[in-house]
Amino acid sequence: MSRPARLSVFEAALSANLRVVSRLCGQSKVWAVAKARAYGHGIPSAVAGFAEASGLAVLEMEEAAQARAAGWRKPILLIEGVFQSADLEEAVALGLDLVVHTPDQLEAVSAMSALERVRLSRLWIKLNTGMNRLGFAPSEWSELAVKLEALRGQGPIGQIGFLSHFAAAEDGESSRRALGIFCEGLTALGRRPQEPLSCANSSAVIFLPPSHLDWVRPGIALYGSSPLGTEALTQQRQTIERLGLLASQRLTSRIIGIQNTAAGERVGYGGRFRCDRPSRIGVAALGYADGYPRLAPDGTPTWVDGRVCPLAGRVSMDLITIDLTDHPRAGLDSEVEFWGPNLSVDRVAGHCQTLGYELLTGVTPRVARCVIPH
């Protein structure tokens, strides 16, 4: 490989995190959410790491096809459904569960022949319970109820289910209100006892047991990162830490240059970092073109040969400068971990005023991948 930048994926950690989440869910089945290329880990690794899950949930038809090609034979949920009616044929061929969140999507299913409909796996009707992104709003439920009954009366169809998504599952008042709206929707739509339900994302799995229902849809927790934002309460953070989730991704590179600077000298573009003492500045082969955030401030931690060392200077396209002054053993070819088992991605994200989600999914294709199998 021409550069030392590398992303390691630990499939055993994916499996371990799934077991942690599954223990919280009791009898609920688990959709392991694998959208965005399995949060940057790759669909094949999701298939291997989440083998014990009841199903996978993906965003794109291509991800579903890749999962099937990798040997996944269990259910796959297409979480935004199809984007055009022409895609229904492929969805049926792949045996997908389809989310329906617009009248047009429901109309496309209604227009299928009876023979095509009987081959559908499941239709999941998405209800808008306060997120105000996708889903049928309460003002649409009366008309939706009529259409659902008409669809059921047209002949054989796969099972119908209902789902929603929480805007803030860790907020007890907000999530309980959303769950109440969801229950009102089920009544308005004449939901039948055998029709499955799904609401819980990672936060709800951890903080809202009443929302577990028939299926849960955890995402970020399966990848060893916290679903909470920077405003989370200390008690909530401690709850996450006690779960013992494992880092499933490790982003590393190596020191390829050392600069010895005098007090008062500046480092990097715009001279943002000013050395307040004679310093040793390590130059690591990684940058924002690899997916490391350009806006990372001075002091953002890195892990260099067993010690935390702070970022010093603006992240550039291909390089990151790190203050090694207090770590004399570090030098040329020292390994740098930017996040992973030694340095939580959430800790790095907190310094960058973002979330672990963004960092895990943002590593670019030019970084070499190394999959560590079970």
In the structure encoding, which two tokens stand for residue 19, read together? 């077991």
Catalytic residues: 35, 269
Q: C-alpha distances in angstroms, 259 versus 17, 205, 262, 313, 315?
A: 41, 48, 10, 13, 16
Is residue 251 within 8 A of residue 337, CB to CB? The reply is yes
- CA–CA separation, 266 and 273 (whole Å): 6
Q: Where are the alpha helices (DSSP H) in 154-308?
A: 172-188, 202-207, 234-242
Classify residue 242 by burial, with Cβ atoms within 10 Å: 0-12, 13-18, 19+.
exposed
Name which of 162, 149, 138 is nearest 110 in CA terms.
Answer: 149
C-alpha dihedral over 165, 76, 205, 181, to 10 degrees?
Answer: 30
Classify residue 19 by burial, with Cβ atoms within 10 Å: 0-12, 13-18, 19+.
exposed
Q: C-alpha distances in angstroms, 244 versus 5, 62, 222, 367?
A: 27, 33, 11, 28
Helix crossing, 172-188 with 141-153: angle to 10°? 50
**Alpha carbon 160 to its chain's center:** 26
Q: Where are the alpha helices (DSSP H) in the chain?
A: 11-25, 35-39, 43-49, 61-69, 88-94, 103-110, 114-118, 141-153, 172-188, 202-207, 234-242, 345-351, 356-362
Q: CA 295, 297, 301: angle at the middle one, nearest 5?
A: 115
Name which of 273, 248, 217 is nearest 361 in CA terms.
Answer: 248
- CA–CA separation, 35 and 37 (whole Å): 5
